[in-house]
Chains A and B, each alone.
Chain A
C-alpha cells in the first residue's frame, strides 16, 4: 500500500512537471500557431541552467554557483528564454517551415553539445552534485517527495492561472488574431513578428521552468533526458488534450503519461523477454499512431479550444 502511494506521488509529480511544459507549448502552438519542433532544447536549457546555477561547486566543469534555489530555477527559465530569443529572432520572420526546422535543429544541437562539452555540462555522464533544496531539513525521503509534489502542483496551478489570464487579456486576443489572419492584424497596426517572438519566449520560459523542476526532482540531468523523443511525447500530450485549451493540455498530459507508463509496465511484465528489447520501439509506434490518428479524426483534441467572444458589451462565455 505504501509502495503504491509513493509510486502515485512519483507519477503525479512527473506528470505535473510535464503538464507545465505542455502548457508552455500550448501558448506557442495552441494560441499562437508556432510549430516548435525542439521543445526538448528549452526543457533542457532550463534543466541544465538550474543545476549549473544551484549546484554545489564542481572541479571538473563550470557551474556549481550554489545560488539560492528559487533564483537558480528562475535562471534556468531565463536560459530557455534566451535560447528562444536567439532562434526566434533568426527565423520567426520567415516561412513557418524554417521555424519548424530551426527549432528541430536546436534540439539536436543542444543534445549534441551537452553530450560533448564536458567542461560545461559534464558530458555524457551527466550533471551531478546538486543538493535538493531543504533536503537536509526533511530527513524522510517520502515526506520530501510529498512536499515537492505540493510545490510542483502549486506551480502548475500558478502557470495555469497565469496563462488563462494571459489568453483572455488583449494580448491573448492579439495572438489569436495573428494566428487566424496575419494580414488583417497587420492592417490594424500590429507587428506579428514581434508578438510571435514574445509568445515564443514566454512559452519557452515556461517549458524551461518545467525542465528546471524535472532536474531538481532527480537532482541529476544527462543528455539522455533531452532526447528528441521527449518532444514527441509532449506534442502527443498537447494534441490529445486539445490545442488551445489549457485544461485539455493538462488532462492530455496525465492521460498520455499514464498510458505511456502503463504500456511500459505492461510490456515489461507480460511480454516475452525477446520482445522486451523492443518495448521502446513499440511505445513509439503507438505514440506516432496516436498523433497521426488524432490529426486525421479529431484534430481539435478531446477538449477543443473554446473561442472567447470578447467584444465589449457581449458577455464572454
Chain B
C-alpha cells in the first residue's frame, strides 16, 4: 500500500518552514484556519497569521494590499468562496494589479460532500483559468504539494491552488518528479499509445486506476498529470496527441470550462484528436461522499474504463 497524506497538512508544514525564514510570508484566513490545516502555523507563527473573519472578498483585497507593500501573503479560504464570491477581487486586485498573492482554495471540488452545492467548487477552474496573469495548480499528492510549495514561496507571480480535503495516496516517489516548473505536466504511466488519460489533483489516482483496468483488457494507456492547469503544458499534450489521437480527461469539476475544456481548446486546432471530457454534468451535484458522487457521475476507474473500451471498439 502506498503512503498517503493530506495535501493541506503538507502545505501548512512547508509554509511554516518558509515563513520561519522569511517573515514577509503571511497566512490569511477567513475563520478557516482549522479547515485549512493552519492551526500549527497559528501556533508556530501567530504574528504571521492574519485573521480576516468570514469575509473572503476582503481577504483577497487586503492580501493584495499587503503584497503591494512587500509581503508574500497566502490567502486561505474554502475554494468555493475564494474563487466565486471573490472573483472580482481576484481579477482586479490580484491578477490585473499583478500583486504577489497566492490564493489557496481549500476543501476544493466536491470535498465538502454532504455540505452541498453552496460549498462545492466545481466551477473554480473555469473561472480562474479565464483570468489573465493567474497561474492555476492542482497538487495530486504530498510530493507534488511539497514541490509546488517550494516554488510558490519564492515565486513572484499570482497563483490559485486548489486543494482537496481528504488524504491522497502517493503518486510520486520524489518531489523532483512531481513538479518542476509552471506549465510542465508529467507522464506518470506509459503503457502504450492506444489512449491517453489526462487528469489533475484527486483524479490522477482515478486515471492511474483506469489505466490498470485497461491494461488487463489489452488497451495500452498513457496517464498524464497536468498539475499546472495554467500555464498548460501544450507541448506535452501535442506529443501525446501525436501518439494516441485519443484523449480522455478526468476532472473533479464541471465538464464546462475546466481541465477537459483546457485540453480540448489546446488540441482542437489539430483536428485529429478526439477528446472525451469526464467530469460533473451541468446540474447541482447529488449529495453523497466524494466516492459515492464520483461513482454516480461515472468519474471512477470502472466506469471510465468501460466507457473507453466501448469507444475504442466502436
A binds B: no
A-side interface residues toward B, CB under 8 Å?
A: none
B-side interface residues toward A, CB under 8 Å?
A: none
